[in-house]
Amino acid sequence: MTELHLRINGTPRRVRADVRSTLLDLLREHLGLTGTKKGCDHGLCGACTVTVEGERVLSCLTLAVSIDGASVETIEGSDPQIDALQCAFLRHDGFQCGYCTSGQITSARAMLREVARGDLSVASFEGCRHTVPEGPQHLCDDEIRERMAGNICRCGAYANIVAAIRDAAGAPS
C-alpha cells in the first residue's frame, strides 16, 4: 500500500492505495465514485474515461500510483447542476442503457477542449486544406464521430450522441 495525494473533482484527497490498483478501481472500490464504469478493463470500450489534468484517459489502463499529485475529474464532477452537454444528452436521448454514458460525456467534454485548442484528427485531413495548420473551424459530424470513436455504445445510440455533442458545442456555455 502506498499513500497518494489526488485532487478529485476539485477536492484534495489523501488515499492509501494498493500499488496494483488502477485509477478505475481506486475510484469505484475505494472512493465510492461509481459513476465511472468498468466495461472491458483493458482499454477498448472507453466506458471508464475520466480526465487527468484535463486530458481524457482510460482509467482502467492508468495505475493510480502513476498519477500521484494529479487532478482527476469524473462524471460526478464538482457542480451539482447538470451542464449543457448533459442536458443535450437528455434531450437527444444520447443513450439507452446508460452504461457508456459517463465515459461518452467525459470524453466529449475533453474532446471539445481539444478541438478548441486546434488539435487535429484524421477527419481534419479530409476537409479543406487550411484545417491542417489551423485546426478545424467547424466541428462537423465526421470530426465528432472520428474523435469519439474510442467510446463504444453497444446500444447504438451513436447518432443521438453526436447530435447532443453538436448541439452542446454550438450552444453558449
Partner 1 sequence: MTAAIGRPVDRVEGREKVTGAAGYAADTVIDGMVHAVLVQSTIAKGRVTAESMAAAAAAAEQAPGVLFVLTPLNCPPLHVLPVDMTWDLPLERRPPLSDLTVQHVGQHLALVVAGSLEEATHAASLMTFDYDTAPAQLTAADVLGAPAPADEKGGQIRYGSYQPDHFVKLDEEKLQDSRGPAEEPDGIRVASRFRTPINAHYPIELSATVAYWEADMLTVHDSTRWITGERRALAAYLGIAEDRVRILSPLVGGAFGSKSFLWMHVVLCAVAARAVARPVKLVLTRTQMFSSTGHRPRTEQQVALVADTDGALLSTEQHTITETSTVAHFCEPVGLTARFLYRSPRMSVSHTVARINAPTPCFMRGPGEAPGMFALEVAMDELAEATGTDPVALRLRNDSARDQPSGRAWSGKHFRECLLDGAERFGWSQRPAVPRSLRRDGIQVGWGMAAASYPGRRMPSGCRVVTTPDGQIRFAAATHEIGTGVRTVMAQIGADATGMPLEAVIFESGDSLFPDAPYSGASQTTATVGSAVALAGRQWRQRLGTAVTSVSELRELLRAAPELCERLCFTVTSGGPDETGPLSQSFGAHFCEVEVDEEIGRASVTRWTAVLDCGRVLNPKLAANQVMGGITFGLGMALLEQVPYDARTGQLIGEYYLPTHADRPEFDISFIDVPDYGLDPVGVRGIGEIGICGVPAAIANAVYHATGKRLRDLPITLESLLEPFASEYTS
Provide the Cα torsion 106, 76, 92, 81; round to 10°: -120
Answer yes or no whether residue 98 interacts with partner 1 by CB under 8 A. Answer: yes
Answer yes or no whether residue 167 interacts with partner 1 by CB under 8 A. Answer: no
Answer yes or no whether residue 156 interacts with partner 1 by CB under 8 A. Answer: yes
Q: Residue count at the site for partner 1 (CB under 8 A)?
A: 56
CB atoms under 10 Å from CB of 35, counted, come to 17
What is the contact mask toward partner 1 in residues 68 to 97, using x (rule: CB under 8 A)?
A: ------xxx-----x---x--xxx-x-xxx
- The contact set with partner 1 (CB under 8 A) reads 18, 20-21, 25, 28-29, 32-42, 44-45, 47, 74-76, 82, 86, 89-91, 93, 95-102, 105, 144-146, 148-162
